[in-house]
Amino acid sequence: MGLSDIEAFLEETAKKVDARIEKYIPRFLSEGSLLFKVLRPDYCVDFNALNRTISEPMWEFLDRGGKRWRPALFLLLYEAFGGEFVEDALDFAIIPEVVHNGTLIADDIEDSSEMRRGKPCTYRIYGLDIAVNLSQAMYFLPMIVLSDKRDRIPINVARKIYEVYIQEMMKLSIGQAIDIAWHRGLIPAEGLSEEHYLQMCAYKTGTLARMSAKMAAILAGLSDEAVERAGRFAESLGVAFQIQDDILDITGEEFARRKGGLGMDITEGKITLMVIYTLRRADEVDRRDLLRILSMHTKDESLKMKAIDIMHKCGAVEYTKNIASRLVEDGWSRIERLIPREEDRKKVKMFAEYLIQRRI
């Protein structure tokens, strides 16, 4: 499986996953929707209101695209672990994917972002009230899958899936809280270490990858110890993926264009691994300038380029690329022996490497 094969696999998986999302959260909610067979109303539901505030803005956002790599990881691992009835199990892959997109809508509000996937952020189109409620709804609505499957999976499997969901959602909120504190300047950036960054990312970006892998392993019938190893592997991928995102924000023109331009993390005052590394390596003048620019939350292109130049001068991009590669290798060592077939091992490893080699 080459890089082009992985991109084709991602595209194919995205279509399948979107179809599954539509099965559970359709573009037009109605009395016959599966959701309302589970959440049976006692009175009269205003479906027009729900469609205007949930279905329409959610699908407007989902239709913009996205890599759908978390459900793709779920599918790869489920098959690699020897899981059966793949098409049925794939329904569970929508849980981390819908939650992920909900977090993006919330992130854009918290970061005062302007663009997401080449279009104005959801809150800029529909308003803060709709966007806040939608993001929260997307944290919970995909769990309808578990309700739908409750009579078709063993109770202990359902309990494990639910426990994974709850644990990972708690970690997600903790990671986001730390990230917000950093980019708002509540914590001095000079005191942050590489370990601080990696743990924040493990909580925030590693969460939904970890959820995908753990759910795949549970449904495939792996032991509790193997489920944890699968989760740690996926966590490493999630952190490496975030590091690559941070790199592309200051180096990848096509990637940055979809976010609103190069250096949007600088505008948001993000404390990335590159920033932490630069603050340790830069001279006093450059260190002071970088901190000043980050604290300004500026959109000024010349100031953003100055910050980018400082990071490049210190070798921050090359250093963080190496960290991402190391994370993937370390993660792979945890999971390699869980995959019996050589062909599946190659697919999973190639997929992991793709996540840190991508350009968008």
In the prediction, which pLDDT does 4 show?
77
Joined together, the tokens standing for residue 193 give 């270490």
Residues 6+ apart with CB under 8 A from 30: 36, 47
Query: What is the total count of domains within the chain?
Result: 1
Joined together, the tokens standing for residue 69 give 């790599």
Q: SS3 of 119, please?
A: strand
In the prediction, which pLDDT does 177 show?
97
What is the number of alpha carbons within 13 Å of residue 167 lying toward its C-beta?
A: 15
In the prediction, which pLDDT does 254 show?
67
- pLDDT (tens digit, 0 to 9) for every residue of the chain, 360 residues total? 667 788 899 999 999 999 999 999 999 999 999 999 888 999 999 999 999 999 999 999 999 998 899 999 999 999 999 998 888 899 999 999 999 999 999 999 998 888 899 899 999 999 999 999 999 999 999 999 999 998 899 999 999 999 999 999 999 999 999 999 999 999 999 999 999 999 999 999 999 999 999 999 999 999 999 999 999 999 999 999 999 999 999 997 666 666 667 899 999 999 999 999 999 999 999 999 999 999 999 999 999 999 999 999 999 999 999 999 999 999 999 999 999 999 999 999 999 999 888 766
CA dihedral 313, 317, 319, 321 (to 10 degrees): -170
In the prediction, which pLDDT does 256 show?
62
Range of 344's domain? 3-357
List the beta bridge partners of residue 351.
Answer: none
CA–CA dist 137, 140 (Å, integer) = 5
Say how many C-beta atoms besides its own lie within 10 A of residue 106's C-beta.
Answer: 20
In the prediction, which pLDDT does 216 show?
98
- Are the CB atoms for 288 and 251 separated by under 8 Å? no
CA–CA dist 138, 321 (Å, integer) = 32
CATH of the domain at 194: 1.10.600.10
Nearest residue to 210 via CA among 164, 243, 271: 164
DSSP string, 145-208: HHHHTTTTS-HHHHHHHHHHHHHHHHHHHHHHHHHHHHHTTSS-GGG--HHHHHHHHHHHTHHH
Strands, E, within 9-154: which ranges?
Answer: 115-116, 119-120
Q: SS3 of 64, please?
A: coil
CA–CA dist 310, 62 (Å, integer) = 36
